[in-house]
């Protein structure tokens, strides 16, 4: 396991990560912001949200994905790929980024967004992020 913090680990590729997130926000109508978070709930990169909000979103995303992962285990339906929440004034999409250690992508949307479009573009972003982010083979 690496001694470096997740934030330090992405520093060399931060510009690329930010570009991937900016492209996602630009390409999807109604997308208010996106966050890449560590599994322990720390925001590593974000576009479109205020700094204080990002920390809360990252922590909540981590908690929700942990709950969804436990549900998947209990129901024997496999590991989590995506979680979609729909509320009265918006929607949230959470995806696992398949790197080691795994990281999370959260996309907050308003009610005008089409979730099929959000999901497709977010999965494309996750593929680009997985190819960009460092992976700790010792994990």
Nearest to residue 55, comparing CAs of 118, 7, 122, 125?
Answer: 7
Is 139 among the domain residues?
A: no
Provide the pLDDT confidence category of residue 1 given band limits of 50, 70 and 90: very low
Nearest to residue 47, comparing CAs of 14, 5, 75?
Answer: 14
The 10s digit of each residue's pLDDT in 59-96 is: 787 677 778 778 888 999 887 788 898 999 999 899 99
The 10s digit of each residue's pLDDT in 86-125 is: 999 999 899 999 998 888 999 999 999 999 999 999 999 9
Question: Distance of CA 63 to CAs 7, 56, 59, 120, Å?
Answer: 19, 11, 6, 23
Number of structural domains found in the chain: 1
Average pLDDT of the chain is 84
Q: What is the CATH number of the domain that holds 50?
A: 3.30.450.30
Is 138 among the domain residues?
A: no
Structural domain that includes position 34 = 6-132
Is 65 among the domain residues?
A: yes
Is 60 among the domain residues?
A: yes
Q: Hunting for tokens 């479009």 — which residue is that?
A: 117
Query: Tokens at residue 18, please?
Result: 């930010």
pTM (2 d.p.): 0.84
């Amino acid at each position: 396991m690496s001694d470096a913090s997740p934030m330090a680990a992405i520093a060399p590729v931060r510009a690329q990560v930010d570009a991937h997130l900016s492209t996602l926000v630009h390409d999807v109508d109604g997308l208010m912001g996106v966050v890449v978070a560590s599994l322990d709930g720390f925001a590593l990169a974000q576009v479109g949200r205020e700094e204080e909000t990002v920390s809360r979103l990252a922590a909540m995303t981590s908690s929700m994905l942990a709950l969804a992962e436990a549900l998947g285990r209990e129901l024997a339906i496999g590991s989590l790929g995506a979680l979609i929440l729909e509320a009265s004034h918006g929607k949230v999409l959470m995806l696992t980024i398949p790197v080691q250690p795994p990281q999370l992508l959260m996309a907050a949307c308003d009610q005008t967004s089409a979730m099929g479009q959000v999901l497709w573009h977010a999965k494309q972003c996750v593929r680009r992020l997985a190819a960009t982010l460092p992976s700790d083979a010792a994990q």
